[in-house]
Amino acid sequence: MSSTPIAPTHAALYAALDQVYDPELDAPLTRLGFIDEVVVDGGHVTVHYTVPTFLCAPNFVYLMSHDIRSELSQVPGVAAVTVLVRNNCAESEINAGVNAGKSFADTFPDETDGEGLEALRHTFTSKGFLARQDVLLRRLRQAGLDDARSLMLRLADLLVLGDDLFVQHLPGEAPLRLPLAAPDLEKYQHKRRKLGLAQAPEALLFTTLAGQPLHEVDLADYLRRSRSARLNIAFNTTLCEGMLRTQFRPEQAQRHDSIGDSLLTHAI
Chain segment 22-70, per-residue pLDDT in tens: 988 988 999 999 999 999 999 999 999 999 999 999 999 999 999 999 9
Kindly report the average pLDDT of the chain as a whole number. Answer: 90
Identify whether the C-beta of residue 206 lies closer than 8 Å to the C-beta of residue 145: no
Q: pLDDT band for position 267 (50/70/90)?
A: very low
Is 100's pLDDT higher than 60?
yes
Select from 224, 201, 197 the least CA-distant residue to 137.
224
- What's the Cα-to-Cα distance from 169 to each of 96, 145, 153, rounded to whole Å? 54, 13, 9
In angstroms, the CA 35 to CA 84 distance is: 10
- pLDDT recorded at residue 153: 97
Q: Bridge-partner residues for 207, per DSSP?
A: 213
Return all residues near 116 (Cβ < 8 A) that are at least 6 apart. Answer: 103, 104, 105
Percent pLDDT > 90 in the chain is: 66
- Which of 160-164, 169-173, 222-226 has the largest mean confidence? 160-164
Q: pLDDT band for position 1 (50/70/90)?
A: very low
The domains located in the chain, with CATH, are 10-114 (3.30.300.130), 119-226 (no CATH)
What are the tens digits of pLDDT across the range 102-147? 999 899 987 755 457 888 889 999 999 999 999 999 999 999 999 9
What are the tens digits of pLDDT across the range 234-260? 888 888 988 888 888 888 777 777 877
